């Protein structure tokens, strides 16, 4: 799975789990220029961070692992979600928190 496919899949899953929609939210999987697949999502860390900070979510960067991570404030047993981009770490944490019934 390519990075763009993974991001598209995560965004779609978060939309299905939360119903969060922005005016820019677009889901498309179709043929782009030169016959290539084109996937578009409009969830960004700028959109997610304010929404998640209301729930005590923080974003950080781990230099050793060279990965972004998102985690809930406090120590309530929820796991930290790592990814190669901030938005994917946030999306993974949203899905985990929905699964745990916290969000």
pLDDT at site 19: 81
pLDDT per residue rounded down to tens, the chain (103 residues):
777 778 878 888 888 888 887 655 555 544 444 444 455 666 777 788 888 888 788 888 888 888 888 877 665 656 788 888 888 888 998 898 888 887 7
pLDDT for 42 equals: 65
How far apart are the two ends of the chain, measured CA to CA in Å?
28
What pLDDT is recorded for position 22? Answer: 63
Question: What is the structure's pLDDT at 26?
Answer: 52
pTM (2 decimals)? 0.73
Report how far Cα 67 is from the mean position of its chain's Cα atoms.
14
Q: Quick one: fold of 3-99?
A: Bacillus phage protein (3.30.2120)
Neighbours of 58 (CB within 10 A): 14
Domain locations along the chain: 3-99
> What's the pLDDT score for residue 35?
42
Note whether 90 and 57 are within 8 A (CB): yes
């Amino acid at each position: 799975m390519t990075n763009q496919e993974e991001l598209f899949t995560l965004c779609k899953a978060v939309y299905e789990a939360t119903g969060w929609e922005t005016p820019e939210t677009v889901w498309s999987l179709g043929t782009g220029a030169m016959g290539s697949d084109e996937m578009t999502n409009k969830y960004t860390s700028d959109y997610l961070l304010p929404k998640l900070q209301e729930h005590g979510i923080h974003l950080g960067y781990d230099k050793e692992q060279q990965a972004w991570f998102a985690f809930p404030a406090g120590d309530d047993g929820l796991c930290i979600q790592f990814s190669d981009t901030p938005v994917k770490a946030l999306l993974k944490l949203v899905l985990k928190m929905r699964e745990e019934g916290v969000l």
